[in-house]
Amino acid sequence: MNFGLIIVGDEILSGKRQDKHLAKVIELLSARGLALAWSHYVGDDPRRITEILRTAFASGDVVFSCGGIGATPDDHTRQCAAAALGRPLALHPEARELIMERVRQLAAEKGWTDDPDHPDTLHRLNMGVFPEGATIIPNPYNRIPGFSVGDVHFVPGFPVMAHPMIEALLDTRYAHLHGAGVQQERSLIVYGAMEASLTPLMIDIEAAFEGIKVFSLPSVDHPVHGRHIELGVKGRGERLDAAYAALLDGLARFGARTGPEMVRSNAPE
């Protein structure tokens, strides 16, 4: 299964807040031998959020969506998820109990009301209104849950809440996938060549070795190697070694001037 990430919020796109989700989700996945296949940033625009979620639900991917599940006027994710699914919204009974636990805790600590019919309580209970058929994601920080529909998971925008919730999903629901995304890279520095000249070789290698990806990372001002291309292959097992040998052979026939070779892996330590 592929893993995807959706990050919702005008505050990210405007620069008011710096995104902390992308790097952290990559880190959490990598630590488990998994990899992020795609990500989307989207502002607080219900039409765009609904379109992205409709694609996510249809993708068959594991998707984490961060942000927009609160109950203020600029929070649209819950409603957009329901629209994308064509389902009604409903107060989830388990979410209601968890939110009421939080209400009673705040009442004891701060002297606030715990009347279930008080407008403030009813507003908080809106945070437990999810698309019909959703399951909850426990929130260890403040008990206000996120929710899942299939393999699409909705967590708050606050990193202190979102990241433990995502990590728990990875270590429970997706524990059987750990290691499935482990890949190795073999590459080398190529001096004085243009990507366009090397493209036919890259195409030939991908065509000849199923499951192998060729990558090219050009640089124009590297402090050590100056203008160069890091050219390599990534994949698994013997096919990777054979593809790399074919890459070296092709570069030799091309007459390329090469430099240091590198080996990398995203296998968890």
Find the Cα–Cα–Cα–Cα dihedral 25, 15, 55, 49, rounded to 10°.
130
Does position 257 have pLDDT exceeding 80, yes or no? yes
> What CATH class is the domain 184-265?
alpha beta
Does position 269 have pLDDT exceeding 80, yes or no? no
Residue (of 204, 210, 81, 211) closest to 146 by Cα position: 81
- Between CA 145 and CA 173 the distance in angstroms is 17
pLDDT at 52: 98
Which tokens go with 225?
Answer: 């190697």
pLDDT, tens digit (0-9, with 9 covering 90-100), for 162-201: 999 999 999 999 999 999 888 899 999 999 888 999 999 9
What does DSSP assign to residue 265? E
Domain formed by 3-177, architecture: 3-Layer(aba) Sandwich (3.40)
pLDDT at 112: 87
Reduced 3-state DSSP string for 98-160: HHHHHHHHHHHHHCCCCCCCCHHHHHHHHHHEEECCCEEECCCCCCCCEEEECCEEEECCCHH
Q: Do the first three CATH levels of 3-177 and 184-265 match, i.e. the same topology?
A: no
User: Are residues 95 and 130 in contact, defined by beta-carbon separation less than 8 angstroms?
Assistant: yes
Q: Give the pTM.
A: 0.87
* Residue with token string 């002297």: 111
Residues 6+ apart with CB under 8 A from 199: none
Task: List the domain boundaries for the chain.
Answer: 3-177, 184-265
Does position 214 have pLDDT exceeding 90, yes or no? yes
Query: What is the rounded end-to-end Cα distance, in angstroms, of the chain?
Result: 22
pLDDT, tens digit (0-9, with 9 covering 90-100), for 137-160: 999 999 999 999 999 999 999 999
Mean pLDDT of the chain: 95
- Between CA 103 and CA 160 the distance in angstroms is 20
User: Are residues 235 and 243 in contact, defined by beta-carbon separation less than 8 angstroms?
Assistant: yes
What does DSSP assign to residue 19? -
pLDDT, tens digit (0-9, with 9 covering 90-100), for 222-243: 888 888 999 999 998 899 999 9
pLDDT, tens digit (0-9, with 9 covering 90-100), for 86-124: 999 999 999 999 999 999 998 998 888 889 899 999 999
Q: pLDDT confidence of 70, banded at 50, 70, 90? A: very high
